[in-house]
Amino acid sequence: MDYINQVARGDFTGLYEPLYIAEEAIYDLLDSVDDQTQNLIVQFTTGAAAQLRRIIDAAATQNPGEPAQHLDVLLDNFTNTNAASMTSTSLESVTLACTICMDAYLSNDTVVILPCHTTHHFHRGCIQVRIFRPSSPHE
């Protein structure tokens, strides 16, 4: 969350170091698994790292402006969809809901799906409010 707040403020310094630390940990992990698993891990992490770098670079090269503009650029790089196009990914839950406001999605709500996992999805407006007022998401 600190990195998202940092990007929202327009501060892009120090964002690459965590990526390199994660890459080192992944290479250590690769030494402990078989060749097929190694190939799967390399393919996944290479794609994920490239996507994160592209998102960070796109946000960093935008003209300086208000923090909200930087956040919009970042959110635009994630999957944005309407709730009607989503289906539940859990057998236990037939109702999809935003975990920030806890409200079920309405069919015309704009939902942002984070690249880390398809089950990480929120109302676009809730993310914006949460980042700029992190201590009170339900106001």
Residue type, 94: V
Which of 65, 95, 116 terminates a domain? The answer is 65
* 18 in a structural domain: yes
Mean pLDDT value across residues 114-126: 81
In a shared domain, residues 89 and 124: yes
Specify whether 56 is located in the same domain as 89.
no
Helix (H, G, I), strand (E, B) or coil at 80: strand
**Are residues 17 and 59 part of one domain?**
yes
Q: Determine the average pLDDT of the residues in 66-85.
A: 75
Same domain? For 82 and 23 the reply is no
pLDDT above 60: residue 137? no
Q: How confident is the model at residue 98 (pLDDT cuts 50, 70, 90)?
A: confident
Domain CATH for 108: 3.30.40
Span 104-113, pLDDT tens digits? 888 888 888 8
Strand pairing report for 121-123 and 110-113: antiparallel
In the chain, how many domains are there?
A: 2
Q: 55 and 85, same structural domain?
A: no
pLDDT computed for residue 136 by the predictor: 43
Weakest-pLDDT range from 28-32, 38-42, 57-61, 83-87 = 57-61
> Minimum mean pLDDT among 11-15, 74-78, 93-97: which range?
11-15
Name the domain boundary from 38, 65, 92: 65
Average pLDDT over residues 44-59: 68
pLDDT-derived band at 67 (thresholds 50, 70, 90) equals low
> Which residues form the domain of 109?
78-139
Q: What are phi and psi of 19, to 5 degrees?
A: -65, -40
